[in-house]
A = this chain, B = another copy of it.
Amino acid sequence: MDSFFLNLLSIMLRDIKYGIKSSWIRRKEEILSKFDESLKEGLIDDRILPTLNLINGLPHYYTVSSCSGRIIILDLPEVGDKKSAIFRGRWHRCVEKNEVLNAISECTKEGWFILNPPIIHVISDDIINAEKILSIAIKCGFKRSGIKSIKRDKITVEINSTEMIETIISKNGYVLADDYYIITLVEYANKKFCRFQQKIERLNVRLYELYTIHD
């Protein structure tokens, strides 16, 4: 009788596992199909594409959103109200002083100069695989990475880095600092931009190694 129940339990567990697994594969296929559409429309940044392809090619993961890092000029109605913000400039690359000065001159409320590091949201099928990619990301220098939410077969891992610049630069249409200061900001933002590009390359190498292990 014990043996009968053990067999029954084993069959039930297999079916539950199979059900979860097949719904996971279906969801991944749907997401990757939308990803391909975004790619065709040119909405995915070239700099982060190899990383996304490497992650999506692995069996336990898919990506849901990403940014390869950016320099932005944000016009904010007030501190923290990023929902009502207007982008006066947005670049996923190193910047030139003149384009930044132009974008700042367009700010009418609170103009902020911001450098955001790369960010990737990865969905993993279980906690062990989530921990694996998290640990790789942290070792590659993405020290602000973490697991953001845990659901049955949907663990969200954020890959994120620490390189930042965030400072107010204009108020009510009046630029608070002179050109020399803004040129220095541009110089340092570009330096930090190069640093996180190197981190992306390091991450690509480690992700590629996972393919060899899987073979």
Contact = CB atoms under 8 A, between A and B. Distances in A.
Interface of A: 2-3, 6, 79-80, 113, 127, 131, 134-135, 138, 144-150, 158, 163-168, 171, 176-178, 180-181, 184-185, 188, 191-192, 195
Given A79-B188, A131-B149, A146-B158, A177 B181 contact: yes
A107 to B, nearest CB: 14
Copies in the assembly, this chain: 2
Given A127-B150, A146-B158, A150-B127, A195 B79 contact: yes
A171 B184 contact: yes
A46 to B, nearest CB: 25
Given A2-B6, A134-B147, A177-B181, 15 more contacts: A80-B192, A127-B150, A134-B149, A144-B144, A146-B146, A146-B148, A147-B147, A147-B150, A164-B164, A164-B166, A167-B185, A171-B184, A176-B180, A176-B181, A176-B184
A8 B214 CA distance: 36
A79 to B, nearest CB: 5
B165 A166 contact: yes
A209 to B, nearest CB: 21
A164 B166 CA distance: 7
A163 B80 contact: yes
5 contacts: A79-B188, A80-B195, A164-B164, A165-B166, A167-B185
A15 B154 CA distance: 31
A122 to B, nearest CB: 12
Nearest to A196: B80
Contacts of A171: 184
A6 to B, nearest CB: 7
A70 B206 CA distance: 35
A149 B168 contact: no
Nearest to A191: B79
A186 to B, nearest CB: 11
Contacts of A191: 79
